[in-house]
């Protein structure tokens, strides 16, 4: 597995070996493994300790599901349920809205030919990615308080839609860029209207990109802490702000169980998005 992966018919003759040897740097494999260990170790540890029976987070007291029970039925269960509902409903609506906007924008950008203001338009669409999150948070808070937009559920939703747009846009635009424009041309030549060409030809072809754009926007919305924390106002929590509030008083085992659940949901969604993207690429060509 280790050495001769990239040269299946590697020769023992020195010249032939050397030319593939030059690609290989000793020590890069251990660093890659270190990189993966660093990335996964904290997550795996929290997963393991979420099954800890002990009330102390330090000592191992045997396997148990009690903290999962605590998440669903314990003292803070009601708070978590409301927070989870807020998070999921906001993420769904923000992802749907931003995906619709991004799909429309992607068709305009990629199929719009070259037009004046195209670079500016691209900069505007990716602006939410470039402005630091904390700055977006401050600006949105100031803006909402100036125009008198009450802070709460609606303000969180609006803020989420804005920063989800580029995340939805990028995979959709990448997908559309790979679809030749003669598909719509052919549809039009066969007397389809533009609407038909879009709904029946282009949209199905774009579907994998749209789905992964939607999923990414959904995860990004679920993930957000800083902007939500600024614009939410008192009396409403999403899962990240609720967890942050709990963690401020120390890491408790039920938080680890809740974190493990959220972690698994994210990984599941990303995996789905990965395989959808992969299948889409195969069928698209």
Partner 1 sequence: MATGVKIESGGGSSSVFGSLRYWLLTPSWLVIGFFLVAPVAMMLIYSFLTKEFRGGVIWEFSLAAYDQFIFDRGLFGDEPPKLEWTYIGIFFRSIWQAFSATVLCLLIGFPTAYFIATRPIHTRPIWLFLVTIPYWVNLLIRTVSLKFLIRDSGPLNQWLISFGILDSPIHLINTNVAVQLGLFYSYLPFMVLPIYASVERYNFVLSEAAWDLYANRWTTLRYILLPSVKSGIIAGCILVFVPSLGAFLAPDLLGGAKNFMIGSLIEEQFKGNAGNWPFGAAASMILLTLVLIVLMVYARQQSRTESKYS
Annotate each residue in 173-202 with x if it binds partner 1 (CB under 8 A) or - if it does not, as one string.
--------xx-xxxxxx----x--xx----
Nearer CB in complex with partner 1: 6/73 = 6
What part of residues 197-226 is at the interface with partner 1 (CB under 8 A)?
A: 197-198, 219, 222-223, 225-226
Token pair 């609606």 is found at 154
The Cα 182–Cα 188 span in angstroms is: 10
Site string for partner 1, 80-109 (x = CB under 8 A): ---------------------xx-xx-xxx
Maximum CA extent, the chain: 77
Considering only residues 105 to 164 of the shown chain, the ones binding partner 1 according to CB under 8 A are 105, 107-109, 111-115, 121, 124-125, 127-128, 130-136, 138-143, 145-146, 158-159, 161-162
Considering the complex, what minimum distance in angstroms separates the CB of residue 121 from partner 1? Answer: 6
Site string for partner 1, 228-267 (x = CB under 8 A): --x---------x--xx--x---x---xx--x--xx--xx
The closest alpha carbon to 95, from 175, 164, 169, 162, belongs to 164
- 149 by Cβ neighbours in 10 Å (0-12 / 13-18 / 19+) ranks as middle
Nearer Cβ to partner 1, position 89 or 185?
Answer: 185
| Segment (H or E) for 118 | helix 118-130
| Residues from 19 through 58 that contact partner 1 (CB under 8 A) | 19, 21-25, 27-29, 31-32, 34-36, 38-43, 45-46, 49, 57-58
Please report how close the Cβ of residue 93 comes to partner 1 at its closest, in angstroms.
14
Contacts of 151 (CB under 8 A, 6+ apart): 141, 144, 145, 231, 232, 233
Distance of CA 248 to the CA centre of its chain: 25
Does 282 help bind partner 1 (rule: CB under 8 A)?
Answer: no
Angle between helices 118-130 and 153-177 (to 10 degrees): 130
């Amino acid at each position: 597995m280790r050495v001769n992966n990239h040269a299946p018919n590697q020769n023992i003759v020195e010249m032939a070996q050397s030319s593939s040897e030059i690609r290989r740097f000793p020590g890069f494999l251990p660093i890659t493994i270190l990189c993966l260990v660093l990335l996964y170790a904290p997550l795996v540890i929290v997963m393991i300790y979420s099954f800890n029976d002990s009330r102390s987070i330090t000592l191992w007291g045997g396997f148990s599901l009690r903290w999962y029970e605590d998440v669903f039925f314990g003292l803070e269960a009601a708070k978590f349920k409301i927070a989870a509902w807020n998070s999921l409903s906001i993420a769904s609506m923000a992802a749907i809205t931003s995906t619709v906007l991004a799909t429309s924008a992607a068709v305009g950008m990629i199929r719009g030919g070259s037009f004046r203001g195209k670079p500016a338009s691209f900069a505007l669409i990716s602006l939410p990615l470039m402005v630091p999150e904390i700055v977006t948070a401050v600006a949105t808070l100031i803006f909402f308080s100036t125009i008198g937009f009450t802070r709460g559920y609606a303000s969180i939703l609006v803020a989420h839609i804005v920063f989800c747009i580029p995340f939805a846009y990028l995979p959709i635009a990448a997908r559309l860029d790979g679809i030749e424009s003669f598909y719509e041309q052919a549809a039009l030549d066969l007397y389809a209207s533009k609407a038909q060409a879009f709904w029946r030809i282009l949209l199905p072809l774009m579907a994998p990109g749209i789905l992964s754009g939607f999923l990414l926007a959904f995860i990004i919305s679920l993930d957000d802490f800083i902007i939500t924390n600024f614009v939410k106002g008192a009396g409403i929590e999403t899962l990240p702000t609720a967890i942050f509030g709990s963690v401020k008083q120390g890491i408790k085992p039920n938080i680890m169980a809740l974190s493990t659940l959220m972690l698994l949901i994210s990984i599941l969604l990303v995996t789905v998005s990965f395989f959808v993207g992969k299948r889409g690429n195969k069928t698209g060509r």
